[in-house]
Amino acid sequence: MAFVSLALAAGATVAAYGAWKVIRWFISISPLYSHLHYLQGPKSSSFIYGNLEEIRKAGTSELHEEWSVKYGKVMKYKAFFGESRLFTMDTKALNHILTHSVDFQKPAQARFNLSRLLGDGILVTEEARYGEIYCGICVFSSRLTRCTISKNPSFGPSSIKELTPVFFQKALQLRDIWKSEVEAGQGSKTIEVLSWLSRTTLDIIGLAGFDYKFDALNVNQEPNELNKAFATLLNATGMRSPIRLLQAFFPIFRLIPTERGRDEHLAQTTMRRIAEGLLRQRKSYILGDSSAEKKTSDFEGRDLLSALVKSNMDTELPDTQRMVDEDVLAQVPTFLVAGHETTSTETMWCLFALSQRPDIQTKLRTELLDVSTDTPSMDELSALPYLDIVVRETMRLHAAVPNTIRIAMHDDTIPVGEPFVDKYGKTHTEIKVGKGDGIFIPILALNRTKAIWGDDAAEFNPDRWANIPEGAKDVPGVWGNMMTFLGGARSCIGYRFAIIEMKALLFTLLRTFEFELAVPVEDIERRSLVVTRPYLKGQKGGAQMQLKVKLHDKNA
Residues comprising the binding site? Answer: 492
CA 515 to centroid of chain Cα atoms: 26
> Helix-strand-coil percent breakdown of the chain, rounded to 5?
50, 15, 35
Other C-beta atoms lying within 10 Å of the C-beta of residue 316:
5
126/100 Cα distance (integer angstroms): 13
Q: Are 446 and 425 in contact (CB under 8 A)?
A: no
**Binding site per annotation, positions for heme:** 492
For residue 504, report the phi and psi dihedrals to the nearest 5 degrees.
Answer: -65, -40
Burial class (CB in 10 A: 0-12, 13-18, 19+), 77: buried
400/482 Cα distance (integer angstroms): 13
Q: Are 415 and 430 in contact (CB under 8 A)?
A: yes
HSE-up of 202 (CA within 13 Å, CB side)? 22
What does the CA dihedral 291, 294, 300, 306 come to, rounded to 10 degrees? -40
Q: Are 190 and 179 in contact (CB under 8 A)?
A: no
203/217 Cα distance (integer angstroms): 7
Q: Are 492 and 529 in contact (CB under 8 A)?
A: no
Hey, is 121 helix, strand or coil? coil
β-bridge mates for residue 531, sequence order: 529
Q: Are 114 and 463 in contact (CB under 8 A)?
A: no
207/270 Cα distance (integer angstroms): 18
Hey, is 300 helix, strand or coil? coil
101/490 Cα distance (integer angstroms): 7
Q: Are 546 and 190 in contact (CB under 8 A)?
A: yes
201/213 Cα distance (integer angstroms): 12
501/439 Cα distance (integer angstroms): 32
β-bridge mates for residue 428, sequence order: 420
548/188 Cα distance (integer angstroms): 7
Q: Are 548 and 517 in contact (CB under 8 A)?
A: yes
